[in-house]
Structure 1
């Protein structure tokens, strides 16, 4: 139960006054600041009045970042290593399994081929290239990002080269394979919080899909771009990209299962955008639209590696509820989901979000159990995802000197305390 006006903790009241002071100095309204944090204006009002304590380390850091101050300026008692003066999130100290692939896509992928003008076929048949792209997606869904990088380092240059130099009758399929490969990389980069690289990969996927003549793959690539924009906190761009693709699909009234999978996935992406902006009603409306589309499909599918269907919609509903701070709703939905038929990544994401929901409710034991189960299913996702790392830090902070050994070991594996 939140404190009344008479029993507000003086420290929380002083904290709220500092938040209000910095907010006004920067000319921001409560509504604007709340939206940037993915909260409601009423929540922000309660914070400034001292009624709503801000105890989560990640939320405290995010609030400081939005106000362009250090954590210590907001809360002088906070340890000096919790915050910085920068308005951008501190880089992860964790080594990135995708560094090699990031370097690969940082330049033009086929300059030597373009400059030489030489045409040559691939040394391998199309079936082998198809198999490699399928393997790339399988590794991405499994969260095995180091293997993704190893495979992509050889596969991408080959696809870029032969898509430009192969005989004309093969180029359509080669461009489609190239788009699928870049979509997989974009998804992998998002999961390792490399949003700028995810944007580059998604943009190249869009271009290759257009050259293949497959508009649904263009829309699927836009979905990957929306995910990158969300991670970049460019919510306006994310909303525009998702809405444009949704409108185009709805204008064509295409109702094949693959088209419905793409459309439903874009509605889920738009729900995520609204949730991050704190637009509760709009987020729930998009989840409802995705549910309707999933009901029309009547099955869980994996068109365009989107894993869209009734179960994935509910997994996204859990994630949306957690982002909105509705931990009880997230648990009510999530505990009734059976995700055994979905990929390890989707199973791990559900367990991670259930762990986040339990953490919001201060259910430390249940939160740790969910995170450990998620790690068992998709270890690289749990050990690198920013949300899981933030939750682990929060659990360690709450537990203090009584933190269980299993939690401290998990924090060490995820490098979550640096």
Structure 2
């Protein structure tokens, strides 16, 4: 958009807002943005070029996208809806519904068979491998077997084993929370993250509590509870920063601290707070520099590479597609998990979509699908980007694009 186009668009937004009797802060609350962002849009400072943001703004104003912006692409007629498929984590969602070990509460004696801690440890490692590979249906099956056994172990195992049983339970719930976030099941992720924090505290491993808070903040972001996400992450960062300032922090502590800065960058970007988002990315880079290498402490995959991947995502959320693509060219993510590499490709696809590079965007999304098909099929940003590409391409949409849209159910 040119400066004149931004100003004309902003004036249109302001006019429609006043017609509905809304104040800027009321409109901002309705679309999960800040009043400052709305003000910048109306003044022509903040461009609105993404179709998903344009749709969000139109919904908040109670008008169609075409009324808000007449030159926006006309939607194509979607195919008939297909029968809804079960979610890959439906079984796991049932696991966190209700108390996890009611039978133990009423048992008059200890069960004859106590789960082996070694076996449980192996199962939790497998769960995290499946999470990193974005193989969520298999993860749900594994956790369906191991979570009930872990819950029982924390209550019935010999005293000497209960500390590790609580730690393993915390790690299992963190894996489940991470998977729920990636499948847009954020309410379930909240429950799983909260349980992971409780189990971590009972294990006597405080850093695992902070790792659980990271998962909780991610759930809040996906729920669009940005104030709760900011509170959870900033409170944890403040304590970690104070602790690390008094001595030589272990690498594991730095990994959590840096990851929480990335959450705060995400919160700021989603709130349209450009400067704060860049400041948090800068702080995460500083922590990654102290760490010196990519690590996988607490399955966070934090390190210099992951910071740059998040910088790409942040730039896209701020509408800076060119910056995102420039950053993406410098990243070698081959050492990271399939899920994380797929996420980078999805973000680059989003950036190309912002620039209306349909072919390049489609190529990135197809490569992401090869790495982690379940993630692309369920990730809300990926589906939104695919839908946008179909709308922009219109009748000239390629068979590859339409096939991807069908597999992702992006036109429903």
TM-score, normalisation: structure 2: 0.90
Distance in structure 1 (CA, Å) of the matches to 2:63 and 2:148 = 44
State the shift of 1:26 in Å. Answer: 2.9
* Deviation of 1:251 (Å): 1.9
In structure 2, the partner of 1:44 is 41
Where does residue 287 of structure 1 map in the other structure? 281
CA spacing shift, 1:5–1:203, aligned 2, 3 Å? closer
Q: Of 366, 371, 374, which residue of structure 1 is paired with 2:368?
A: 374
Aligned with residue 207 of structure 2, among 187, 206, 216: 216
Q: Following TM superposition, by how much is the alpha carbon of 1:46 offset from its aligned partner in structure 2, in angstroms?
A: 5.2
User: Structure 1 residues 185 and 45, CA, compared in 2 at 3 Å: closer, same or farther?
Assistant: same
From 382, 387, 405, the equivalent of 1:411 is 405
2:217 to 219, 226, 229: 226
C-alpha separation between the residues in 2 aligned to 1:369 and 1:293? 33
Number of residue-to-residue matches in the alignment: 401
Contact 2:24 2:38 in 1 (8 A): no
- Any stretches of 5+ residues in structure 1 without a counterpart? 83-91
Whole-Å separation in 1 of the counterparts to 2:223 and 2:122: 32
Q: CA deviation at 1:53?
A: 6.3
Distance 1:283 1:403, change over 3 A: same
**Aligned partner of residue 106 in structure 2, secondary structure:** helix
CA RMSD of aligned residues (A): 2.8
Residue in structure 2 matched with residue 25 of structure 1 by the alignment: 21
2: CA distance, partners of 1:55 / 1:388: 13
The gaps in structure 2 that reach 5 residues or longer are none
- How far does residue 40 in structure 1 lie from its aligned partner after superposition? 3.4
**What's the TM-score once normalised by structure 1's chain length?**
0.88
In structure 2, the CA distance between the partners of 1:19 and 1:282, relative to structure 1 (3 Å rule), is: same
Task: Give the drift of 1:175.
Answer: 0.2
Q: Which residue of 2 aligns with 1:323?
A: 317
The change in CA–CA distance for 1:52 and 1:130 in structure 2 (over 3 A counts) is closer
Q: Is the 8 A contact 1:33 1:66 kept in 2?
A: no
Equivalent residue number for residue 355 of structure 2: 361
Distance 2:49 2:313 in 1: 21
Match of 2:136 in 1: 145
Contact map agreement 1:179 1:209 (CA 8 A) in 2 = yes
**8 Å CA contact 2:301, 2:336 repeated in 1:** yes
Shift of 1:248: 1.3
Establish whether residue 261 from structure 1 lines up as the match of residue 252 from structure 2: no
User: What is the aligned partner in structure 2 of residue 189 from structure 1?
Assistant: 180
Q: In structure 2, how many angstroms separate the alpha carbons of the residues matched to 1:381 and 1:333? A: 23
Look up the match of 2:163: 172
* 1:89 matched residue in structure 2: none
Shift of 1:304: 0.2
